[in-house]
Structure 1
């Protein structure tokens, strides 16, 4: 039973330590990489050809297709671990359930349910529309409900294609929608807040850390409440993070916040000469 409590504490401490390290060391390097600059070149070309709204739609649908392409084989691979990993973890947790801890987890885990997040989405959309009333107010009005719909239907596609079943105590399947919804709903709110107000770098790192802690705790409670297999939760974290990246890029493209691509310093103008 001690191990279960230790893992509960780790679900808070691990992302609280890991995310600031990732944000300060890895993210800046990734943003300056060649792959990131190629993405900026593609976005610039799409925006020039289709405008911001058209480019944002292309980014959204292409990103959704890429997420399905990645998470489909991932789900098939994780489903092969059901007997060797998921069943032993489920049996271990089930045999050591404590009433008080179970009640606490059952109280926390609805944070990732669709019903409460619907109201969070509606209230946040209204608030950001009012905050953006002198600029492109339609972006938060569309972005917040859109993340809710995109997560639901993309998750359903993966659940149908992988079709791996569910734990004996609940109907939760791959990928964990609760983990993905926490990431997408609060992640989209965080991005819109960053575009609305001048949040310092430390503040942005703190927000990202808080988001990761919420998703991590949600995954832990889904396992302890016996709503999901362990690998469902792992898949939900990956699925939610990838889809959040797609939604964030979509919002940035629509608002014209994508940095222009870096032009090569070695590129020299080509001189054309003619001979009579």
Structure 2
């Protein structure tokens, strides 16, 4: 029985420790990587061709297709672990359920249901539309409902393609929609908050940690409430962040907050390390010319 409570404690401690470490060490490295700069080049080209909104739409559709392409075979692989992992964990939890702890988890887990998150989506859309009234106020009105719809239908595509069934106590299937919905809804709110106010880095990390904590606790509660197989929750923990990344990039493209690439869109793809000195040299020559004038 102690194992159940240890897992509950880990569902709280892991995101609190892991997210700040990833945000301070992993994310800066990714931003400076060649792959990230190639993505900026692609976004710049799409923006020149279709405008910000058109480029954002292309990013959204392409990103959702990429998420499905990754999570579909992942779901098939996790399905093969049902007998060896999901059934033993389910039976372990079922045989050792404590009424008080079950009530607590049953109280928390509806946070990931569609009905309460619909109201969160509506309130957040109106709130940020008012906060953005002096700029593109309609973007939050589109983005908040959009994240809800994108999560629902992308999840349904995966549920139909993987078609792995569900536990005997509920109809939850792969991937865990509760985890993904919380990630998308509150993650999109965090993205809009970061675009609305000048929040310091520590504040942004704290917001992401809070979102990850809600998602992690939701996954644990879905397992304890016997609504999902264990691997369904693992799938939700992967599916949700990937889809949030697509939504966040879509929003950044729409509002013009994607950093310009190191190299020009018209320059041929090559060694980015070699283009950085060239770019620095061009900037230095321009500075000397301006100083001479």
TM-score of the superposed pair, with normalisation by structure 2: 0.91
2:181 alignment partner, SS class: helix
Counterpart position of 1:128:
128
Residue 208 of structure 2 is aligned to residue 197 of structure 1: no
CA distance in 2, matches of 1:249, 1:92: 41
CA distance in 2, matches of 1:33, 1:70: 21
CA distance in 1, matches of 2:136, 2:159: 35
Deviation at 1:265, TM superposition (A): 3.1
Alignment of 1:114-263 (within 5 A): 114-263=114-263
Residue 24 of structure 2 is aligned to residue 13 of structure 1: no
CA distance in 1, matches of 2:80, 2:72: 13
Deviation at 1:122, TM superposition (A): 0.1
Unaligned runs of 5+ in 2: 264-274, 282-293
Deviation at 1:240, TM superposition (A): 0.5
2:276 alignment partner, SS class: coil
Deviation at 1:138, TM superposition (A): 1.2
CA distance in 2, matches of 1:251, 1:262: 21
1:265 alignment partner, SS class: helix
Deviation at 1:267, TM superposition (A): 4.8
CA distance in 1, matches of 2:4, 2:236: 21
Deviations 1:68-122 (A, max 9, x none): 0000000000000000000000000000000000000000000100000000000
CA distance in 1, matches of 2:233, 2:31: 28
CA RMSD across the alignment: 1.1
Deviations 1:166-222 (A, max 9, x none): 000000000000000000000000000000001000001111111111000000000
Residue 78 of structure 2 is aligned to residue 78 of structure 1: yes
TM-score of the superposed pair, with normalisation by structure 1: 0.96
Counterpart position of 1:30:
30
CA distance in 2, matches of 1:8, 1:159: 27
CA distance in 1, matches of 2:107, 2:277: 59
Unaligned runs of 5+ in 1: 270-276
What number of residue pairs does the alignment pair up? 269
Counterpart position of 1:273:
none
